[in-house]
Amino acid sequence: MHRLQFHYTLSRQSSPAQVRNPLIDLLQAVSTQGSISAGARALGLSYRHVWGELKRWETELGSELLVWEKGHNARLTEFGSKLMWAEGQAQARLAPQIEALRSELERAFAVAFDPESHVVMLYASHDHALGALREFALASDAVSAAHARLHLDMRFSGSVDAIRALNEGRCVMAGFHTLQSPQQGSVAEKIYKPLLKPGLHKIIGFASRTQGLMVAAGNPLGLRTLHDVQSSGARFVNRPLGAGTRVVLDELLAQDALPAAQFPGYERTEPSHTAVAHAIASGAADVGLGIEVAARAQGLDFVPLLEESYHLVCLKSALEDPAIVALLDLLKSPAWQAQLSAMPGYRAWHCGEVQSLRRVLPWWDFPRKARQPQ
């Protein structure tokens, strides 16, 4: 059993949160470029260095990684391919936790470098736009100095767990999503209504995003609807219990009169949109429900099914907190809204506007108080 060690670096430059091993980059470059020399050039390294590192790793791991023959492209051995697959699967599944780890470290350093920095603890359903917002807030060229001092300490979890974290005081803001204009009696009402209270919580608009079927490039099975998924026997991959996308799937299945217990792959789950997309891209699954930006990042095709609203929610009492005020200002900025709308499948939706819970989620019907006789 090979053990792992981690390290991190400090930099002013923005970059994706990654836990990477240099070996994986070497294998990826050589496999993609077709030769050690071309792979070395792509990485900006010398042929001698890449050759030496590959031989060192083969000795360390006790197996050959590459096969190359004169007149043929270099290719990964079966072991090398398994190593690449395992790395890709782990990265996809652990992406939210890696992002949360970096967020925690950066929060600590933000306070160390600038004790007056605003910190917003946010638990949220997995969403790429929130990750982009976090980077936008930290960017040196953010809209104002106040925004540059705003740090979003994010924890990605299911929508249900995010709201519970808010109600239990583990965060000051939560992110969740629903179909646009969810109806009374819907699955979303049954899930979220017990967790949210008019007068106590306030909704903050964030984004409209497209959910749909993520499928292999070219959509080889011709999947267009959930009925197609069921009738074709396609290998579907779901999201875990408590995830907002699973609530959306349950909503769609109920609308189409498709019993969840009879839907193929309903019990097979992956923890994030990224992990679902990777499962499809690697051939381990055929289809899953997710967001367009995750599908495009893995080279998949995307079949749009619905538009949904991604909401932020906080306690009404927190609206005057300086950190929340700074966040609302950032959300309303034209620069951020332009960046958000440029992401595949997203558009700004009442971004930064404080809204009535009853207006956005019209599930409550309180009788009006009778007027007292004069």
Query: What is the distance between the alpha carbons of residues 275 and 307, in angstroms, rounded to a whole number?
Result: 21
Residue 150: per-residue pLDDT: 84
Q: Half-sphere exposure of residue 22, counting CA atoms within 13 Å on the CB side?
A: 11
Residue 207: per-residue pLDDT: 97
Clarify whether residues 146 and 248 are in a common domain: yes
Clarify whether residues 132 and 36 are in a common domain: no
Reported pTM: 0.75
Clarify whether residues 128 and 269 are in a common domain: yes
Clarify whether residues 215 and 281 are in a common domain: yes
Q: Half-sphere exposure of residue 77, counting CA atoms within 13 Å on the CB side?
A: 10
Clarify whether residues 143 and 276 are in a common domain: yes
Clarify whether residues 169 and 309 are in a common domain: yes
Number of domains the chain contains: 2
In a domain, 122, yes or no: yes
pLDDT in 10s for each residue of the chain, 374 residues: 566 666 666 666 656 666 777 888 888 888 888 888 888 898 888 988 888 888 888 888 888 888 877 667 788 888 888 887 777 777 776 776 776 677 667 666 666 566 667 889 999 998 999 989 988 987 744 444 444 478 888 888 899 999 999 999 999 999 999 998 788 889 999 999 999 999 999 999 999 999 999 999 999 999 999 999 999 989 999 999 999 999 999 999 999 999 998 899 999 999 899 999 999 998 999 999 999 999 999 999 999 999 999 999 999 999 999 999 999 999 999 999 999 999 999 999 999 999 988 889 988 865 555 555 55
Residue 16: per-residue pLDDT: 62
Clarify whether residues 216 and 142 are in a common domain: yes
Query: What is the distance between the alpha carbons of residues 159 and 162, in angstroms, rounded to a whole number?
Result: 5
Clarify whether residues 200 and 228 are in a common domain: yes
In a domain, 181, yes or no: yes
Question: Using alpha carbons only, what angle is made at residue 270 by residues 264 and 272, rounded to the nearest 5 degrees?
Answer: 130
Q: Are 158 and 208 in contact (CB under 8 A)?
A: no
DSSP H or E segment with residue 315: strand 301-315
Q: Please, what sign has the CA dihedral across residues 210, 226, 272, 325?
A: positive
Radius of gyration of the chain measured on its C-alpha atoms: 23
Clarify whether residues 329 and 207 are in a common domain: yes
Question: Using alpha carbons only, what angle is made at residue 185 by residues 184 and 189, rounded to the nearest 5 degrees?
Answer: 75
Clarify whether residues 196 and 100 are in a common domain: yes
In a domain, 284, yes or no: yes
Domain boundary among 76, 109, 138: 76
Query: What is the distance between the alpha carbons of residues 286 and 303, in angstroms, rounded to a whole number?
Result: 13
Residues pairing with 124 in the sheet: 156, 175
What Å distances lie between residue 148 and 82, 100, 192, 237, CA to CA? 42, 19, 33, 39
In a domain, 353, yes or no: yes
Query: What is the distance between the alpha carbons of residues 259 and 253, in angstroms, rounded to a whole number?
Result: 7
Domain with 68 in it: 22-76
In CATH, what number is assigned to the domain containing residue 38?
1.10.10.10
Clarify whether residues 179 and 134 are in a common domain: yes
Q: Are 246 and 275 in contact (CB under 8 A)?
A: no
In a domain, 71, yes or no: yes
Residue 141: per-residue pLDDT: 46
In a domain, 347, yes or no: yes
**What single-letter DSSP state applies at residue 143?**
S
In a domain, 2, yes or no: no
DSSP H or E segment with residue 326: helix 322-332
In a domain, 44, yes or no: yes
In CATH, what number is assigned to the domain containing residue 196?
3.40.190.290
Clarify whether residues 37 and 135 are in a common domain: no
